[in-house]
Amino acid sequence: MQFADAEWIQLAREFRAQPIGYHSAGLTRLLSHLRAGGMEGKYCIICIEPHRNWAIGRLSAQRGVPPALQDNRGTLDEAEWAIFKLRCRDAGLPAIDEALL
Amino acid sequence: MTPPVKTLLGYADSLSVAPGETIAFKVSCETTSLYDAQIVRLINGDTNPASPGYNEIEIPGAAWRLPGRRQYVRAGSCAIIEGVGAHLGSAGFGIEMLIWPTTPEKPLQTLCSLFEGPAGFSLTIGGAAGLALLISDGGGGEATLALGAPLRARQWYRVTARFDPRAGEMFCRQKACHGRATDAETVAATRSTTIALPHIPGANLLLAAAPQPGGTGLYRFYNGKMEAPNLTSADGAPVAAWDFSIGIGSDTIHDTSAKSLHGRTRQRPARAMTGHCWAGEGFVWRHTPAHYAAIHFHDDDIDDAAWETDFSFTVPDTLPSGLYAARLRTAQDEDYIPFVIRAARRREGGLLFIVPTASYQAYANEHLALDAALAELVHDHVPVFGPNGIYLAAHRELGGSLYGRHSDGSGIFTSSRRRPILNMRPKYQSRLGGTGSGLWQLNADTHLIAWLAREGIEADFITDEDFDSNGADALLPYRCVMLATHAEYFSTRMRDALDDYVAAAGRIMSMGANGLYWRIAYHMDGSGTIEVRRCEVGNGWITAPGEAYHEFTGEYGGLWRRIGRPPQQTIGVGFVGQGFDRSSYYRRLPASHDPRVAFIFAGVSDEIIGDLGLIGGGAAGVELDRTDPLLGTPANAVILARSEGHTGNYLPTVEELLINYVNQAERNGFF
């Protein structure tokens, strides 16, 4: 997927403001692309402490092998945002300059 | 900091119990030598600080400190015929059967085995060896004949094996038996051998598994269908021939020979499955049972964990009917084993709360986030795993849900309560419950219980299983019946009883959407196991052609709507669509100002209702219903309000679609 810089920043800004919920057509299209990957190494969220603390994990795609914990932690929205950035990076999209958001 | 590790889990021998009766709890404790058990009454299972508050009440005199021990779940189905060795002598044998392997690449899957200690034989498939016959003399001598020819998945083969010690010969053959099979698809081999098979009169014949050497367990399970296994002497004289079309719905397998060497299945493999001669002429196994002579075995079937009992609780007469649990605790972990206490004396003219345990079982231990790559698109958020979800990911032997697939990719048709169900728990958070508290199934239903408690409304409680057993009688004395947040799975007996109750002017409060949706069947054996055959419309999987009729009852499976009894006929509304991100709200409709319904709005002046909450931040969400006179919404129904403004994650359900087009839900006015 390719975006004009302005559009790209706008989508990132929109996602960070509300990771889950009402999204523009452009963000919906981007999220559908980012979320549709296969299971091996797919990002997930691991709850460290209910309602308080979450971390990023990776799925194994193998029966009986549980998600592996990685170490970014924070709120659920922060975990969603961190995974969004990782997936954008993995998809070859430009790095997000958070100073512009 | 790492997430807590699940080390304590269990289940009970029943989902409900009446005063005076005893319920037994079975526990596996993986870490410490002692754990504490306490019976609690569950009021509110939501631990979200934004909720009204987690609330459980400890029952005095119902606490134990117990030694922990680890118990294991041994998944994998098979059939066992006892004492077959006595009928074979030491003069060899022949065995033949039809097979439809589903994972032929997986090594060492047993078609049949017969061992007493180390002496015996096995016929296996899988891996590079392909079909292989092994003879073991019990003294360290072994002889193997392997065809080394690949078997194609989901293709019928007739396989034959023979051992003739007098001729000193072993023989194996696999023959493809689809209509266009060529000679090239038949592979056979013979080898000479000096090995002898001793007479092993105590040996049992196992189909689809082998006994673990030196132990009591089974291993090397087979994935796939099997049909018409038969056993002969080495010169072809019949010993036994099993016809799986007899006894469909039971755990009995029937030997049609004069010896009557009948056997039993273990861990409930799928029956009422199409056999090698099914070609679409008949779709009803009861009409053409000979076409349904196959059993589908799975290496991960689990129907009964068969754990030992750790403690029991006899319910005193003083405890009110309600939702309870055995709370288990160590310093590291806790678990809850929920159960219902039924009323000692039914509340004449009162409220009955039906705990939708069939729906809990349908979603039991679901693995959607692990197995369904596109589940994230359905939910529109990244899947979240808590300790129970991580444990389930690591321990697939606990079995999946009715949305899951077996390890060979075939759909899971049955769900048992005789195993730990780690998502049927208070405090459990599910990503299916939208943003917020993550409320879904049992834990969502505790909010109704908390509300009843806060309002001082007393109710009697039963489970779906009680409802199915007792039918209309279960509802008879009650003025009102409350269906919980997600009463999705209904047996015919439950549906008939509810319809009779409505016809007799009974009142139903249906507290969530997607109710009365899938038809299920409870097994008649009292195990509480349910079966679903998702046909016409699927979810997670869909039945293969010809397999739409339940094994347990012979009834056609699928959606109640497709069976001609849409939920609208009974509760006015029926499923139309879903989304799992944010919920919305209701806007009052003009009909809500009708004086007939003024009592509902006494003290309510708002036009917008439910624009807040713990499930996605609104009262209308996750799953949505609609009215439809053509589907049975009564002509005198009053539609008080409708939801609006749903996110783009909300999509119409498949049975609403005849053809796809953009924005279909909006254009049809669904939502």
pLDDT digits (tens, 9 = 90+) for A13-44: 999 999 999 999 999 999 999 998 889 999 99
Residues of chain B with C-beta less than 8 angstroms from the C-beta of A37: 373
- Give the pTM: 0.97
Burial class of residue A2 in the structure, from the number of CB atoms within 10 Å of its CB (0-12 exposed, 13-18 middle, 19+ buried): exposed
Assess if residue A10 is contained within a domain: yes
Q: What is the pLDDT of residue B388?
A: 96
Contact of B16 with B337, CB cutoff 8 Å:
no
Q: What is the pLDDT of residues A59-99, one digit of tens each?
A: 999 999 999 999 878 999 999 999 999 999 999 888 887 87
Q: Tell me the C-alpha to C-alpha distance, in Å, between residue B337 and each of A35, B13, B98.
A: 35, 10, 43
Report residue B31's pLDDT band, with 50, 70 and 90 as the boundaries. Answer: confident
CA B558 to the chain's CA centroid = 15
Q: What is the pLDDT of residue A73?
A: 80
| Dihedral in degrees, nearest 10, Cα atoms B95, B99, B103, B104 | 60
Q: Tell me the C-alpha to C-alpha distance, in Å, between residue B219 and each of B112, B209, B216, B382.
A: 12, 6, 10, 36
Give the span between the Cα atoms of B131 and B122, in whole angstroms.
10
Report residue B663's pLDDT band, with 50, 70 and 90 as the boundaries. Answer: confident
Domain count, chain A: 1
Angle between helical axes of A76-90 and A25-35 (0-180°, round to 10): 80
Could you give the count of Cα atoms lying within 13 Å of A100 in the half-sphere of its Cβ? 11
Express the helix, strand and coil content of chain A in percent, nearest 5 each: 40, 20, 40
Express the helix, strand and coil content of chain B in percent, nearest 5 each: 15, 35, 50
Q: In this structure, how many other beta carbons lie within 10 angstroms of the beta carbon of residue B158?
A: 18
Q: Is pLDDT of B89 > 90?
A: no
**What are B9's two structure tokens?**
């889990």
Burial class of residue B216 in the structure, from the number of CB atoms within 10 Å of its CB (0-12 exposed, 13-18 middle, 19+ buried): exposed
Give the span between the Cα atoms of B508 and B496, in whole angstroms.
14
Range of the domain at A36: 5-94
Give the span between the Cα atoms of B538 and A37, in whole angstroms.
22
Q: Is pLDDT of B609 > 80?
A: yes
Q: What is the pLDDT of residue A93?
A: 87
Worst-scoring range by mean pLDDT, A1-5, A23-27, B486-490?
A1-5
Report residue B33's pLDDT band, with 50, 70 and 90 as the boundaries. Answer: confident
Report the chain B residue with the minimal C-alpha distance to residue A80: B382
Q: What is the pLDDT of residue A63?
A: 95
Q: Is A9 in CB contact (< 8 Å) with chain B?
A: no
**Contact assignment for A45 to B49 by CB distance below 8 Å:** no
pLDDT > 70 fraction of chain B, expressed in percent and rounded: 100
Assess if residue A16 is contained within a domain: yes
**Phi and psi of B667, rounded to 5°?**
-70, -30
**CA-based nearest distance A75→chain B, Å:** 12
**What are B79's two structure tokens?**
């059939």
Give the span between the Cα atoms of B300 and B221, in whole angstroms.
9
Assess if residue A101 is contained within a domain: no
**Contact assignment for B385 to A47 by CB distance below 8 Å:** yes
> Could you give the residue ranges of the DSSP H alpha helices within B481-559?
492-503
Could you give the count of Cα atoms lying within 13 Å of B423 in the half-sphere of its Cβ? 30
Report residue A2's pLDDT band, with 50, 70 and 90 as the boundaries. Answer: confident
* Pairwise pLDDT comparison (B370 vs B113), residue with the higher score: B113
Assess if residue A33 is contained within a domain: yes
Q: Is pLDDT of B492 > 80?
A: yes
Assess if residue A100 is contained within a domain: no
Assess if residue A36 is contained within a domain: yes
SS3 at position B83: coil
Burial class of residue B490 in the structure, from the number of CB atoms within 10 Å of its CB (0-12 exposed, 13-18 middle, 19+ buried): buried
Question: Minimal CA–CA distance to B160: which of B178, B179, B145, B150?
Answer: B145
Q: What is the pLDDT of residue B453?
A: 97
* A22, A24, A84, best to mutate vs chain B, most B CBs in 10 Å: A22
**Phi and psi of B173, rounded to 5°?**
-150, 140
Give the span between the Cα atoms of B585 and B613, in whole angstroms.
10
Could you say which DSSP state residue A48 is in? E
Length of chain A equals 101
Residues of chain A with C-beta less than 8 angstroms from the C-beta of B371: 39
**CA-based nearest distance A27→chain B, Å:** 11
Q: In what order do the strands lie in the sheet with B480-483?
A: B459-463, B351-355, B480-483, B507-510
Report the chain A residue with the minimal C-alpha distance to residue B647: A22
Report the chain A residue with the minimal C-alpha distance to residue B384: A45
SS3 at position B568: helix
Report residue B531's pLDDT band, with 50, 70 and 90 as the boundaries. Answer: very high
Worst-scoring range by mean pLDDT, B189-193, B224-228, B416-420, B648-652?
B648-652
Q: What is the pLDDT of residue B278?
A: 96
Q: Is B189 in CB contact (< 8 Å) with chain A?
A: no
**Phi and psi of B86, rounded to 5°?**
-65, -25
Residues of chain A with C-beta less than 8 angstroms from the C-beta of B383: 44-45
Give the span between the Cα atoms of A58 and A41, in whole angstroms.
5
Residues pairing with B623 in the sheet:
B578
Average pLDDT, chain B: 96
Q: In this structure, how many other beta carbons lie within 10 angstroms of the beta carbon of residue B188?
A: 13
* Average confidence (pLDDT) over B589-616: 95
Angle between helical axes of A25-35 and A5-17 (0-180°, round to 10): 80
Residues of chain B with C-beta less than 8 angstroms from the C-beta of A64: 393-396
Q: Is pLDDT of A100 > 80?
A: no
Residues of chain B with C-beta less than 8 angstroms from the C-beta of A21: 435, 581-582, 647
Residues of chain B with C-beta less than 8 angstroms from the C-beta of A50: 47, 386, 427, 429
Angle at CA of residue B296, ends B295 and B299, nearest 5°? 130
Report the chain A residue with the minimal C-alpha distance to residue B374: A36
Q: In chain A, what is the straight-line distance between the N-terminal and C-terminal CA atoms, in Å?
A: 20
Contact of B426 with B56, CB cutoff 8 Å:
yes
Give the span between the Cα atoms of B164 and B90, in whole angstroms.
10
Assess if residue A99 is contained within a domain: no
**What are B526's two structure tokens?**
């009292």
Nearest to A20 among B371, B396, B582 (CB): B582
Q: What is the pLDDT of residue B307?
A: 98
Q: What is the pLDDT of residues B437-485, one digit of tens each?
A: 999 999 999 999 999 999 999 999 999 999 999 999 999 999 999 999 9
Assess if residue A60 is contained within a domain: yes
Give the span between the Cα atoms of B461 and B350, in whole angstroms.
11
Give the span between the Cα atoms of B74 and B266, in whole angstroms.
11
* Average confidence (pLDDT) over B600-614: 95
Give the span between the Cα atoms of B355 and B339, in whole angstroms.
10
Q: Tell me the C-alpha to C-alpha distance, in Å, between residue B659 and each of B446, B536, B655, B662, B665.
A: 39, 15, 10, 10, 12
Contact pairs from chain A to chain B, CB under 8 Å:
95
Q: Is pLDDT of B624 > 80?
A: yes
Residues pairing with B143 in the sheet:
B135
Q: Is pLDDT of B314 > 90?
A: yes
Q: Is B3 in CB contact (< 8 Å) with chain A?
A: yes
* Average confidence (pLDDT) over B300-312: 98
* B103, B365, B370, B437, best to mutate vs chain A, most A CBs in 10 Å: B370
Nearest to B380 among A20, A36, A44 (CB): A20
Q: Is pLDDT of B233 > 90?
A: yes
Q: Is A65 in CB contact (< 8 Å) with chain B?
A: yes
Q: What is the pLDDT of residues B139-190, one digit of tens each?
A: 999 999 999 999 999 999 999 999 999 999 999 999 999 778 888 889 999 9
